[in-house]
Amino acid sequence: MSKNILICGVGGQGTVLAAKVLSQAAVSGGQKVLSAETIGMAQRGGSVVSHVRIGSDVYSPVIPRGCADVIIAFEAAEAVRNISYLKTGGTVIVSNEVVQPVTASLSGKFFDSKVMIDYLKQNATVMCVDVKKACMELGSSRVANMVLVGAACKSGIMELSEVKDAVRLLVKPEFYELNVRAVDYCAALDI
């Protein structure tokens, strides 16, 4: 049985580390993992998409459209952009924060996350996370990725203990405790 996790956001949000943590957690649990990343103009706020595929019956690192069990979206517009990857009955874990693209800023045509999250709710089970609030309570905006990974664990896609072990292997020791608190943050929430 396979698990497919698509992680999407924009450059600088920590999507690649989130994918590495989930991949390492699965490997440590004795599972076969394939992953791939698409990074387009990431340094200028462009889209970043990571595919994490887990299971002995997985033969390609790229998730076919309509086959993702979970989409972890660091930004609502990226969740909408990638919703075609989600399988019927899948779950979207999404930050309620919007990162306005440069074109929106220049044109004055902004969008808000509520419209996009309402759209997502028509097509999937949605776990909406107030990542900004979480980061303020945790004392760092640099752990938004681990907050969303923790929410993904709450969906049942990955064991929390395996994720914490992966964080220990992949994050510098001085940041381990903060990242684990971020992973634990959503476990205590009713989302």
Q: What are the counts of helices (DSSP H) followed by strands (DSSP E) for the chain?
A: 8, 6
CATH code of 28's domain: 3.40.920.10
- Domain of residue 163: give its range: 3-188
Task: Render each residue's pLDDT in the chain as its tens digit; 191 residues.
Answer: 899 999 999 887 888 999 999 999 999 999 999 999 887 765 666 889 999 999 999 999 999 999 999 999 999 999 999 999 999 999 999 998 887 777 777 788 877 888 999 999 998 999 999 999 999 999 999 999 999 999 999 888 899 999 999 999 999 999 999 999 999 998 777 76
User: How high is the pLDDT of residue 148?
Assistant: 95
* Assigned token pair, 77: 């517009």
Number of domains within the chain: 1
* Cα–Cα dist 103/136, whole Å: 28
